[in-house]
């Protein structure tokens, strides 16, 4: 009989995040209204982006062009907003752009059976070149009016930003989908054992294309959440965001080889990565230490998830009575 484990990896991660928050609240002025508020503003797009990236990683793929897709999304929304298009229209337009670009990645990956990392790496370059070559001012839009930024600046009860609520709702929705929908299980199946997934009646190709489309949708939301907090948009500034998403996902216990991991972990991962970089800023390190930090975090987190510690565990168990997992 398998009893439900209460102390999961994600539970521990949640405790770490809480401990971190507590530690920062006690030792710095982080707990002031400003610190918490800017955390909620900054972490919201990362949460949604980390969920998007996790979904793709579940299937054993990856998207290196996620950051530059965000740039396209925010440019589309910003450009439309400049012409006075209301939010009800520029939001779907931005999301559609995200879905198209991510869907293209998925389509090429599946149709021509080429590794997604190389395709999306090339796409990353294509996107960056596109901004600089074909967009006016490299896509830089400034002086965006209230019709663009009201949502990003709005908050409930004067403390909780709207965009944080959106990201939490999105996270909850997708955790629910992963748990109760066929689509969620199919992602794990394709990433875990492709052949077995086929025998189970899952079409891996269409699943991968679907997951990229869903990723695009989420990236659309993430890009908009980030864009509407500012009155200017610079597409190339989103370059490198994909590393934060990947870091958040793998810190949250998502297996980079695909097939396992939980979205709640990715959410905690996003918080933890944010808190770590904030701590560094509070400690007076400069911005560019974060590149190095993220690299190291990803390596450590991936090492822990992919390494088989069972031999090590057995050694530990020998000291006491065997605690089987039955």
Partner 1 sequence: MDMRQMISSRSGPRIGVTYQVALFMLLVFLVVLFGILQPVFFSPDVLFNVTAIIGEIGIMALGMTFIITTGGIDLSVGYNLQLCAIVFGSVYAKTHSVAEAAALAVLCGTACGFLNGVIISRTKIPPLVTTLATLNLFRGISMIVAGSETYSGFPEGFKSISSTFLFDIVPIQFLYLLALFIVFNLYYTRGTLGRNLKGIGFNEKVLVFSGINTRRSLLFIYTLCGFMCSLAALIYLGRLSAATTSMGNDLNLQVITAVVLGGTSIMGGIGSVSGTFIGTLIIGVLRKGFTLLNFSGNIFNFTLGLILIVALIVFALLEERKKNAGRSGLT
Q: How many residues does the chain have?
A: 326
Q: String of b and e for 136-158 (b: at least 16 CB within 10 Å)?
A: eebbbbeebeeebbebbeebeee
Q: Is 130 in the site for partner 1 (CB under 8 A)?
A: yes
Contacts of 193 (CB under 8 A, 6+ apart): 259
Q: Is 64 in the site for partner 1 (CB under 8 A)?
A: yes
By CB under 8 A, name the one of 16, 213, 256, 276 that touches partner 1. 256
By CB under 8 A, name the one of 114, 172, 196, 200 that touches partner 1. 114
Which region, judged by CB under 8 A, interacts with partner 1, from 128-136, 150-158, 175-183, 215-223? 128-136
Q: Is 159 in the site for partner 1 (CB under 8 A)?
A: no
Q: Is 312 in the site for partner 1 (CB under 8 A)?
A: no
Give the three-state DSSP class for 83.
Answer: coil
Q: Is 299 in the site for partner 1 (CB under 8 A)?
A: yes
* Contact pattern for partner 1 over residues 234 through 253, marking x by CB under 8 A: ---------x--x---x---
Nearer to partner 1, 218 or 247 (CB): 247
Residue 30 tokens read as: 């982080």
Which region, judged by CB under 8 A, interacts with partner 1, from 89-97, 112-120, 189-197, 268-276? 112-120
Checking 237-241 for CB contacts under 8 A at 24+ apart, the result is 237/71, 238/67, 238/68, 238/70, 238/71, 238/74, 239/67, 239/68, 239/71, 239/124, 239/128, 240/67, 241/49, 241/66, 241/67, 241/70
Run of H or E including 160: strand 160-161
For residue 252, the minimal CB distance to partner 1 (Å) is 15
Q: Is 136 in the site for partner 1 (CB under 8 A)?
A: no
Q: Is 118 in the site for partner 1 (CB under 8 A)?
A: yes
Q: How many residues bind partner 1 (CB under 8 A)?
A: 44
Q: Is 306 in the site for partner 1 (CB under 8 A)?
A: yes
* Contact pattern for partner 1 over residues 277 through 296, marking x by CB under 8 A: ---------x-xxxxxxxxx
Whether the CB-CB separation of 245 and 66 falls below 8 Å is answered with yes
Q: Is 93 in the site for partner 1 (CB under 8 A)?
A: no
Nearer to partner 1, 221 or 246 (CB): 246
Phi, psi of 181 (to 5 degrees): -110, 150
Whether the CB-CB separation of 219 and 98 falls below 8 Å is answered with yes
Nearer to partner 1, 139 or 161 (CB): 139
Phi, psi of 231 (to 5 degrees): -100, 10
Phi, psi of 202 (to 5 degrees): -100, 135
The alpha carbon of residue 29 and the mean position of all alpha carbons in its chain are separated, in whole angstroms, by 28
Q: Is 47 in the site for partner 1 (CB under 8 A)?
A: no
Q: Is 302 in the site for partner 1 (CB under 8 A)?
A: yes
Given the rule CB under 8 A, which residues bind partner 1? Answer: 62, 64, 108, 112-115, 117-119, 121-126, 128-133, 243, 246, 250, 256-257, 286, 288-296, 298-299, 302-303, 306-308
């Amino acid at each position: 009989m398998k009893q439900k484990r209460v102390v999961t990896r994600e539970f521990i991660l949640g405790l770490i995040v809480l401990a971190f928050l507590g530690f920062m609240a006690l030792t710095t002025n982080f707990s002031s209204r400003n610190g918490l508020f800017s955390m909620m503003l900054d972490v919201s797009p990362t949460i949604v982006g980390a969920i998007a990236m996790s979904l793709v990683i579940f299937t054993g793929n990856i998207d290196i062009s996620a950051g530059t897709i965000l740039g396209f999304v925010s440019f589309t929304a910003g450009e439309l907003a400049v012409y006075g298009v209301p939010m009800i229209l520029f939001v779907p337009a931005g999301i559609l752009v995200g879905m198209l670009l991510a869907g293209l990645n998925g389509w090429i990956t599946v149709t021509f059976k080429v590794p997604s990392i190389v395709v999306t790496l090339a796409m990353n370059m294509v996107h960056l070149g596109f901004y600089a070559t074909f967009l006016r001012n490299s896509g830089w839009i400034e002086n965006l009016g209230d019709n663009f930024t009201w949502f990003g600046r709005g908050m409930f009860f004067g403390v909780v930003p709207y965009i944080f609520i959106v990201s939490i709702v999105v996270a909850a929705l997708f955790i629910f989908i992963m748990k109760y929908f066929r689509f969620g299980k199919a992602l794990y199946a394709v990433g875990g054992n492709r052949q077995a997934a086929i025998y189970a009646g899952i079409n891996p190709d269409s699943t991968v294309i679907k997951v990229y489309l869903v990723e695009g949708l989420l990236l659309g939301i993430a890009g908009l959440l980030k864009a509407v907090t500012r009155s200017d948009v610079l597409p190339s500034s989103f370059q490198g965001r994909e590393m934060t998403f990947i870091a958040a996902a793998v810190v949250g216990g998502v297996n980079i080889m695909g097939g396992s991991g939980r979205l709640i972990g990715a959410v905690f991962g996003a918080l933890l990565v944010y808190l770590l970089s904030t701590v560094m800023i509070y400690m007076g390190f400069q911005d560019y230490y974060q590149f190095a930090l993220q690299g190291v975090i990803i390596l450590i987190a991936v090492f822990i998830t992919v390494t088989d510690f069972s031999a090590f565990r057995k050694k530990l168990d020998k000291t006491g009575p065997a605690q089987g997992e039955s």
